Amino acid sequence: MKKMLFVGVAFIAAMNFVEAAVKDMGACEQCGQSLSQAFVNVAKKCRPAVVHIRVESGSGRSQASSDSGNPFEQFQEGLFNNFFGVPGGASRGQDQNSFQVSNGSGFIVSPDGYIITNYHVIKDGSKIIVEKYDDIEKQYEAVLVGCDPNTDLAVLKINGENLAYLEFFDSDAIEVGQWTMAIGHPFKLRDSVSAGVISATHRGDLQISQLEDFIQTDAAINPGHSGGPLVDLTGKVIGVNTAILSKTGGNIGVGFAVPSNIASMVYLQIRDSGSVDRAFLGVQLQELSEELCAGFKLKKGTTGALIAEVVPDSAASLAGLQAGDVVVDFNGELVKSAKQLYTTLAKLPSGAKCDMNILREGKQRKIQLVLGSKVKEISKEGDIIHKLGVIVEQITPENAGKYGIKADEKGVVVTKVLQGSTAAGLGWTPGSVILVVNGQKMTSVEAFKKSLETANPKDRLVILMHYHGRAAFHSIPHPNS
């Protein structure tokens, strides 16, 4: 009798277990269907706003390897790859008119046709065609509104009304592990979607662009995705797909996107003024080592950014900051390094109001200030200076420190040399300072540009340059000769 009772109890328990398992399976199935439907809904919502971008260039040069300063060029032989073309470079073809063609993605961010994409997608393009796929394919010739090489972003404009568009989400609110979807045109395959998770945030030290604060994802990203959106499961943009880590040029699960907060700031500034006006604090920063902590009699393990120099009449100077101050907190965020503070500042527009806590002689002080402007004279791609094969800037405390030149030196500094150009052939390198052209002192980028435009194209240019403490004359052909 006891044996029968035991068997009966065991049978009831087993049936209860089976019933619970069936219920769990049903719940799991429902959960899976709900998740699947979420991805379906996002794809339906977002795909109409994602566009294919075809760029034509009559220069006869590859879009991906037109200059030695292009940060994506080095990735073609290494681990990193820009991905607006075939593995190892841009998607290139040559039509009967000898146009070089590259392809990428972008997405519409306003009903009247503003589009965000990557700068390297449209770089050097003479004609930009936007292809939009709804019920029928539509083509638009786009206008380049402006670009920001520092973040590898560009803004285009097409004529349209009531276009499907995507909205930005606060990228500072995303979390590692959350689901995400990448949308674009890999290998020219229209409106492809791929899903994955956020692998990491605030990735830097990748040498992809000057301002690095990337989102990392394992969503499949391949050649052609460049400039497309990375979205969350509400269909809002959290990033702009920019680069991948790969030995082959194809996806291995390590992709990087520019955060939406940076993309939104760049878009709004370019839309309103055609360029990006970043905040300027007016300091030279350096890392705070253990030895410096001891030297400044700071508590062991103190983190922050050490101010080495303050620019006169800058926001920092007006707020009373001094060399030797250590910034330990900026806008409520703990400062762990000088690089972190530089990145934080680069994401802010001029005129931003900020609070910071500093250590001065071991005592903490609170500083409030309004950030200044980082606008500077810079030559533009396509102008007469560019024909020489260089990009130049006015000398500022920031680039003076970078290139090891005096901040008060007169002239314009070379910041980029294009591969195969006249300047490259002469051995010019970033950090070279152009002092005099045909006997005229160069006080600004505009003065350098004017000296080239007014010179006789039949005559050679005589340029006095300064590099690493040594001056030398160069006699070169006029760029329009």
Residues 464, 433: Cα–Cα separation, whole Å:
9
| Structure confidence by residue, pLDDT tens digits, 225-264 | 889 999 999 999 999 998 877 666 666 778 899 999 999 9
Residue 120 bears catalytic tag? yes
Residue 285: beta bridge partners?
A: 307
Supply the pLDDT for residue 86: 36
**Which one of 57, 66, 102, 120 is the catalytic residue?**
120
Residues 435, 443: Cα–Cα separation, whole Å:
8
Q: What is the rounded average pLDDT of the residues 100-125?
A: 88
Q: What is the rounded average pLDDT of the residues 263-271?
A: 91
Q: What is the residue whose two structure tokens read 């008060």? A: 408
Supply the pLDDT for residue 420: 82
Lowest mean pLDDT among 55-59, 111-115, 408-412, 471-475: 55-59
In CATH, the number for domain 384-476 is: 2.30.42.10
pLDDT band at 127 (very low <50, low <70, confident <90, very high): confident
279-373 matches 384-476 in fold: yes
Average pLDDT, rounded, for the chain: 80
More confident residue, 82 or 424: 424
Supply the pLDDT for residue 445: 83
Lowest mean pLDDT among 166-175, 249-258, 335-344: 249-258
Domain ranges of the chain: 1-276, 279-373, 384-476
Q: What is the rounded average pLDDT of the residues 207-216?
A: 77
Residues 318, 44: Cα–Cα separation, whole Å:
52
Q: Looking at the predicted structure, is the pLDDT value of residue 303 above 70? A: yes
Lowest mean pLDDT among 45-59, 201-215, 330-344: 201-215
Q: DSSP 3-state assignment of 403?
A: helix
Q: What is the residue whose two structure tokens read 């120099």? A: 309
In CATH, the number for domain 1-276 is: 2.40.10.120
pLDDT band at 459 (very low <50, low <70, confident <90, very high): very high
Supply the pLDDT for residue 95: 44
Q: What is the rounded average pLDDT of the residues 207-218?
A: 79
Residue 309: beta bridge partners?
A: 284
Supply the pLDDT for residue 438: 92
Q: Which of 397, 396, 392 is nearest to 413 (CA)?
A: 392
Q: What are phi and psi of 341, to 5 degrees?
A: -70, -40
Supply the pLDDT for residue 407: 64
CA dihedral angle for residue 427, residue 432, residue 435, residue 439, rounded to 10 degrees:
10
Supply the pLDDT for residue 135: 67
- CA 97 to chain CA centroid, Å, is 33
Supply the pLDDT for residue 402: 66
Q: Looking at the predicted structure, is the pLDDT value of residue 472 above 70? A: yes
CA geometry: angle 344, 349, 355, nearest 5 deg: 55
Which strand (E) or helix (H) includes residue 19? helix 2-46
| Structure confidence by residue, pLDDT tens digits, 82-104 | 443 333 333 444 444 455 677 88
Supply the pLDDT for residue 105: 92
Q: Looking at the predicted structure, is the pLDDT value of residue 270 above 70? A: yes
**Which one of 67, 124, 148, 152 is the catalytic residue?**
152
Residue 226 bears catalytic tag? yes
**Which one of 57, 105, 226, 379 is the catalytic residue?**
226
> Which DSSP string do the residues of 188-219 spell out, in sequence order?
G-TTEEEEEEEEEEEE--S-SSSS--EEEE-S
Residue 355 bears catalytic tag? no
Distances from the Cα of 425 to the Cαs of 61, 62, 216, 429, 453, in angstroms? 17, 19, 38, 10, 22
Tokens for 56? Answer: 């034509």
| Structure confidence by residue, pLDDT tens digits, 435-445 | 999 999 888 88
Supply the pLDDT for residue 304: 92
> Which DSSP string do the residues of 219-286 spell out, in sequence order?
S---TT-TT-EEE-TTS-EEEEEEEEE-SSSS-SS-EEEEEHHHHHHHHHHHHHHSS--BEE--EEEE
Q: Which of 383, 391, 415, 384 is nearest to 479 (CA)?
A: 384
pLDDT band at 30 (very low <50, low <70, confident <90, very high): low
SS (H, E, C) 64-116: CCCCCCCCCHHHHCCCEECCCCCCCCCCCEECCCCCEEEEEEEEECCCCCEEE
Q: Looking at the predicted structure, is the pLDDT value of residue 37 above 60? A: yes
pLDDT band at 66 (very low <50, low <70, confident <90, very high): very low
Burial 265-275 (b: 16+ CB within 10 A, else e): bbbbbbeeeeb
| Structure confidence by residue, pLDDT tens digits, 347-397 | 888 888 999 999 998 889 999 999 987 665 566 666 788 888 888 888 775
What residues have CB less than 8 Å from 27, skipping those under 6 apart? none
Residues 44, 56: Cα–Cα separation, whole Å:
30
What residues have CB less than 8 Å from 165, skipping those under 6 apart? 49, 107, 108, 109, 110, 111
Distances from the Cα of 442 to the Cαs of 125, 240, 410, 437, 438, in angstroms? 30, 39, 7, 7, 10
Residues of the chain with pLDDT > 70: what percent?
78
CA geometry: angle 233, 235, 238, nearest 5 deg: 85
Supply the pLDDT for residue 443: 80
Supply the pLDDT for residue 152: 87
More confident residue, 212 or 51: 51
Say how many residues make up the chain.
Answer: 481
CATH 2.30.42.10 fits 279-373, yes or no: yes
Supply the pLDDT for residue 367: 93
Residues 209, 201: Cα–Cα separation, whole Å:
16
Residues 97, 99: Cα–Cα separation, whole Å:
6
